[in-house]
Amino acid sequence: MLLLSGLERASYALDYRFDVLVDWIPAVTEAAVGEALAAARRDHPRRQVRTLAPVVLPQRLWESLVDGAALPDGRIRC
């Protein structure tokens, strides 16, 4: 008999399709990230968000996250 853990049971019930929230920078609040993006947009209006990481993340991770967001023109929209 196969016993499933609670997480496995819940995953199966959702057909293994669910959202996952990853806190990449736990020391920074969501509001602070929003403020950093707004400041970057204000201070560097012509730069693409892919080349301007307003939070402390490895550059390649930042680029991957931005690429995954599929911004239409690569600019910050706040």
How is 11-43 classified by DSSP, letter by letter?
Answer: HHHTTT-------S-TTS-HHHHHHHHHHHHHH
Burial of residue 49, with CB atoms counted within 10 A of its CB: 0-12 exposed, 13-18 middle, 19 or more buried: buried
Determine the average pLDDT of the residues in 65-78: 72
pLDDT of residue 24: 87
Q: What is the mean pLDDT of residues 35-52?
A: 86
How many CB atoms within 10 Å of residue 76?
19
For range 3-23, the mean pLDDT: 87
Question: Domain residues of the chain, as ranges?
Answer: 20-78
- 33 phi-psi bin (left φ>0, alpha ψ -120 to 50, beta other): alpha
Q: Judge whether residue 1 has pLDDT over 50.
A: no
- Arithmetic mean of pLDDT, 17-33: 89
- Reported as a pLDDT band with limits 50, 70 and 90, residue 3 is low
